[in-house]
């Protein structure tokens, strides 16, 4: 096993498809876990000393039966709850910015492009 220090958004932006194996538990974060993550984000964002925050390990392996002509698939073994929550949070933030209609220094499209690594109107929520 090889451990690497990586930025979560950079990991999410790679040209890989993360697959949640069937043996993984269902998404079941409660308000308490979401609130803790939100508080960590606010605290990290307000502290000029820290430019990074450790959210936990993300463990994945390459899917062996992945055809070579498609996007590489990675089996997400640990961290699926955090990755899912942060993805939803970022897209919700983009949607809120879009609905507000005011200039806040970043647009919904920029957030979507940053997270997905590509421009896609399909990522916009109605």
Burial classification of residue 80, based on how many CB atoms lie within 10 Å of its CB (0-12 exposed, 13-18 middle, 19 or more buried): buried
Whether residue 95 lies inside any domain: the answer is yes
Q: Quote the pLDDT of residue 120.
A: 46
pLDDT(1) > 70? no
Element (H, E) at 74: strand 73-78
Percent of the chain whose pLDDT exceeds 70 = 84
What's the whole-number average pLDDT of the chain? 79
Q: What is the pLDDT of residues 6-50, one digit of tens each?
A: 777 777 777 778 888 888 888 888 999 988 988 888 888 888 887
- Is pTM beyond 0.75? Reply is no
3 falls within a domain: no
| For residue 123, pLDDT beyond 60 | no
Q: Is residue 91 part of a domain?
A: yes
Average of pLDDT values for 106-113? 84
For the stretch 48-78, pLDDT in tens is: 887 677 778 888 888 776 666 577 788 888 8
Q: How far apart are CA 53 and CA 40, in angstroms?
A: 8
**Any domain includes 42:** yes
The total domain count for the chain is: 1
Paired strand residues for 78:
59
C-alpha dist (Å) from residue 18 to 11, 58, 63, 74: 10, 11, 10, 5
In a domain, 2, yes or no: no
Return the residue matching tokens 């998404």: 27
User: Residue 94 domain-assigned?
Assistant: yes
Across the range 71-97, mean pLDDT stands at: 86
Give domain status of residue 1, yes or no.
Answer: no
Q: Residue 56 belongs to what domain range?
A: 8-123
Specify if 70 maps to a domain. yes
| Euclidean distance between CA atoms 107 and 101, whole angstroms | 9
């Amino acid at each position: 096993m090889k451990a690497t220090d990586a930025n979560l958004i950079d990991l999410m932006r790679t040209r890989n498809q993360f697959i949640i194996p069937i043996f993984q538990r269902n998404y079941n974060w409660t308000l308490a876990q979401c609130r803790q993550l939100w508080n960590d984000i606010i605290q990290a964002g307000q502290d000029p000393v820290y430019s990074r925050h450790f959210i936990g390990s993300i463990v994945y392996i390459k899917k062996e039966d992945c055809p070579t002509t498609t996007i590489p698939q990675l089996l997400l073994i640990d961290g699926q709850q955090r990755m899912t929550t942060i993805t939803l949070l970022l897209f919700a933030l983009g949607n809120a910015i879009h609905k507000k209609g005011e200039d806040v220094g970043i647009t919904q499209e920029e957030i979507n492009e940053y997270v997905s690594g590509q421009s896609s109107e399909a990522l916009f929520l109605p």
